[in-house]
């Protein structure tokens, strides 16, 4: 859009704002769609109208948005901002979100991301976004529910359903958006999913902080016994008592008639799964392996076995620190029948130890096997065992020969071979044993 066109749209918005008090009530409300691509703006505006027929959309480029006054911004019920997260512009993609939230904090900002990921979602929410959507996968029904929740609570709102249920039967915001209702939390977005549980980006209503909330449904699940629930509570209490820089803080946990839930500190920098999409230097690989090994020392010392150690369960901080998460499933026995139903996208089959595949409950040496797979992947730039089917991957874990490391890193071969031994008795007995062996091969440099 040309500068003249931007000014023209801004003038229209200004006129609307100046007439806002004197204008009669009308059936429609206005939101603002912002992006530099006019076609993309119009497509999103059309999607909004499909989701909420009483909501109309104005359209502006980024520069046109900058020309709006605070009063003009407040004339809109929401700003729908399309953000390019992979565009190499040199500027921070979420800076516009922060600036909008600072100028008009009462106006909800909905971010529609192109090429975003979990880390981008967290950054956008932290910057002040009221909701976040990958633009290629917006569900109209979910968008409608989100808009109803965000925009339908004002004094002059027409977005409410004409036939309201009684106050006692009114759904919570989470239920309205099709999300579980966990007391004390506002669930904002699903960020991970496995066969047993779902992790949501959520806001704690008491502490006003963002958390990663893991929720497991137990209603109608006879496989989750009272003993399982008691064990879950005991292990959450143990995890709450651990204090280590590489173990996620447990903020809260609980059991309702419908769910088990565990709230952990949230890490906006994302997980090691994203980090491993790019080459890892030897120094970084050693740093990460030492940190994971140190965390396992503490966890195993408390009598807890992780049982699902994989890159997506290892978070990164902005100072290159790794933090283990997802201990809520640490007691879930991942028997072969469950593994055969696992989605390869969860990553678990690539990092599981042979004894788990056979249906045995692993001890701490199972976690060390998973660490061995991760360490190999960091050193070699590839997984040791892959295949087109789960059976191929499992056969590799049970019988496959570990491929050699690149020549430049061959000195780590003995350590990798012992970590990935098929027989648990041939592995390091403890994380301390692994760390001592690593220190012999590559002594840690003073910080």
- The pLDDT score that the predictor gives to residue 86 is 67
284 is annotated as an active-site residue:
no
What does the alpha-carbon distance between residue 100 and residue 26 come to, in Å, rounded to a whole number? 26
Handedness of CA 58, 64, 70, 71 (dihedral sign): negative
Same domain, 85 and 224: no
Same domain, 294 and 382: yes
Q: How many C-beta atoms surround the C-beta of residue 210 within 10 A?
A: 18
Domain assignment of residue 132, yes or no: yes
What does the alpha-carbon distance between residue 136 and residue 399 come to, in Å, rounded to a whole number? 41
| Contact of 219 with 258, CB cutoff 8 Å | yes
CA distances from 441 to 384, 405, 406, 416 (A): 21, 15, 16, 12
Q: Residue 287 contacts by C-beta under 8 Å, 6 or more apart in sequence?
A: 320
Same domain, 276 and 397: yes
| Contact of 244 with 295, CB cutoff 8 Å | yes
Torsion of CA 274, 278, 282, 283, to 10 degrees: -60
Domain assignment of residue 447, yes or no: no
Strand partners, 29: 55
What does the alpha-carbon distance between residue 36 and residue 82 come to, in Å, rounded to a whole number? 9
Phi, psi values for residue 210, rounded to 5° = -80, 140
Q: CATH number, domain at 315?
A: 1.10.510.10
Q: CATH number, domain at 32?
A: 3.40.50.2300
Same domain, 214 and 335: no
| Contact of 81 with 188, CB cutoff 8 Å | no
Domain assignment of residue 77, yes or no: yes
Same domain, 144 and 94: yes
CB-neighbour burial class of residue 116 (10 A; exposed 0-12, middle 13-18, buried 19+): buried
Q: Domain range holding 25?
A: 3-169
Strand order, beta sheet including 198-204 = 185-193, 198-204, 209-217, 259-265, 250-255
Same domain, 255 and 187: yes
Same domain, 257 and 125: no
Same domain, 256 and 381: no
- The pLDDT score that the predictor gives to residue 267 is 78
End-to-end CA distance of the chain: 52
Domain assignment of residue 446, yes or no: no
- The pLDDT score that the predictor gives to residue 90 is 61
Question: Among residues 174, 225, 218, which one has the least CA distance to residue 196?
Answer: 218
DSSP code per residue over 156-218: T---S-SSPPPGGGPPPHHHHTT----TTEEEEEEEEE-SS-EEEEEEETTTTEEEEEEEEE-
Domain's final residue, options 127, 145, 169: 169
Look up the pTM and report it. Answer: 0.58
> Which residues of the chain are under the pLDDT cut of 50?
1-27, 153-172, 176, 328-346
- The pLDDT score that the predictor gives to residue 274 is 81
Phi, psi values for residue 60, rounded to 5° = -145, 155
What does the alpha-carbon distance between residue 23 and residue 16 come to, in Å, rounded to a whole number? 9
| Contact of 284 with 375, CB cutoff 8 Å | no
Same domain, 87 and 14: yes
- The pLDDT score that the predictor gives to residue 415 is 97
Query: What is the number of structural domains in the chain?
Result: 3
Same domain, 31 and 139: yes
By residue count, the chain amounts to 447
Report the alpha-carbon angle 160-209-65, nearest 5.
60
DSSP code per residue over 380-440: HSS-SS--SSHHHHHHHHHHPPPPPPPGGGGGGHHHHHHHT-SSGGGS-SSHHHHHHHHHH
DSSP 76: S
Identify the H or E element spanning 34: strand 29-34
What does the alpha-carbon distance between residue 50 and residue 40 come to, in Å, rounded to a whole number? 16
Same domain, 157 and 52: yes
pLDDT digits (tens, 9 = 90+) for 8-47: 334 434 444 444 333 333 335 788 889 888 777 878 888 8
Domain's final residue, options 232, 265, 298: 265
- The pLDDT score that the predictor gives to residue 347 is 52
What does the alpha-carbon distance between residue 15 and residue 341 come to, in Å, rounded to a whole number? 59
What does the alpha-carbon distance between residue 369 and residue 309 come to, in Å, rounded to a whole number? 9
Given 308, 338, 343, 363, the catalytic residue = 308
Domain's final residue, options 135, 169, 203: 169
- The pLDDT score that the predictor gives to residue 229 is 82
β-pair type (29-34, 79-84):
parallel
Question: Among residues 415, 327, 335, which one has the least CA distance to residue 375?
Answer: 415
Same domain, 80 and 145: yes
Domain assignment of residue 191, yes or no: yes
Domain assignment of residue 209, yes or no: yes
């Amino acid at each position: 859009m040309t500068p003249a066109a931007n000014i023209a749209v801004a003038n229209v918005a200004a006129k609307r704002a100046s007439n806002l008090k004197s204008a009669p009530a009308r059936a429609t409300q206005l939101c603002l769609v912002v992006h530099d691509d006019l076609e993309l703006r119009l497509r999103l505006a059309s999607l909004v109208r499909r989701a909420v027929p009483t909501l109309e959309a104005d359209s502006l480029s980024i520069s046109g948005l900058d020309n709006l006054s605070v009063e003009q911004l407040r004339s809109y019920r929401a700003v729908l901002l399309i953000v390019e997260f992979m565009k190499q512009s040199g500027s921070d993609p979420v800076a516009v979100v922060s600036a909008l939230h600072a100028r008009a904090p009462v106006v909800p900002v909905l971010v529609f991301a192109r090429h975003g990921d979990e880390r981008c979602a967290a950054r956008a929410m932290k910057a002040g976004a009221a909701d976040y959507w990958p633009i290629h996968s917006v569900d109209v029904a979910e968008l409608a529910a989100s808009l109803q929740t965000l925009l339908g609570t004002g004094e002059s709102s027409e977005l409410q359903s004409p036939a309201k249920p009684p106050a006692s039967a009114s759904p919570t915001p989470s239920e309205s958006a099709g999300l579980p209702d966990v007391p004390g939390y506002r669930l904002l977005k699903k960020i991970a999913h496995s066969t047993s549980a779902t992790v949501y980006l959520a806001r704690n209503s008491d502490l006003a902080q963002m958390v990663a909330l893991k929720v497991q449904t137990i209603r109608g699940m006879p496989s989750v016994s009272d003993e399982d629930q008691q064990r879950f509570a005991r292990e959450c209490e143990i995890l709450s008592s651990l204090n280590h820089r590489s173990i996620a803080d447990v903020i809260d946990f609980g059991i309702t008639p419908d769910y088990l839930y565990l709230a952990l500190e949230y890490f906006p920098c994302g997980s090691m799964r994203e980090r491993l999409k790019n080459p890892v230097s030897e120094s970084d690989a050693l740093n990460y392996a030492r940190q994971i090994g140190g965390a396992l020392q503490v966890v195993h010392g408390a009598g807890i076995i992780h049982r699902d150690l994989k890159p997506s369960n290892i978070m990164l901080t902005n100072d290159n620190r790794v933090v283990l998460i997802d201990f809520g499933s640490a007691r879930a026995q991942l028997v072969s029948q469950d593994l055969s139903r696992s989605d390869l996208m969860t990553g678990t089959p690539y990092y599981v130890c042979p004894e788990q595949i056979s249906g045995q409950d692993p001890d701490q040496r199972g976690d060390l096997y998973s660490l061995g797979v991760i360490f190999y992947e960091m050193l070699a730039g590839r997984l040791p065992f892959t295949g087109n089917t789960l059976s191929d991957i499992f056969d590799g874990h049970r019988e496959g020969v570990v491929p050699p490391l690149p020549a430049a890193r061959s000195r780590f071969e003995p350590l990798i071979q012992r970590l990935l031994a098929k027989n648990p008795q041939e592995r390091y007995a403890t994380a301390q044993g692994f760390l001592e062996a690593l220190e012999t091969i590559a002594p840690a440099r003073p910080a």
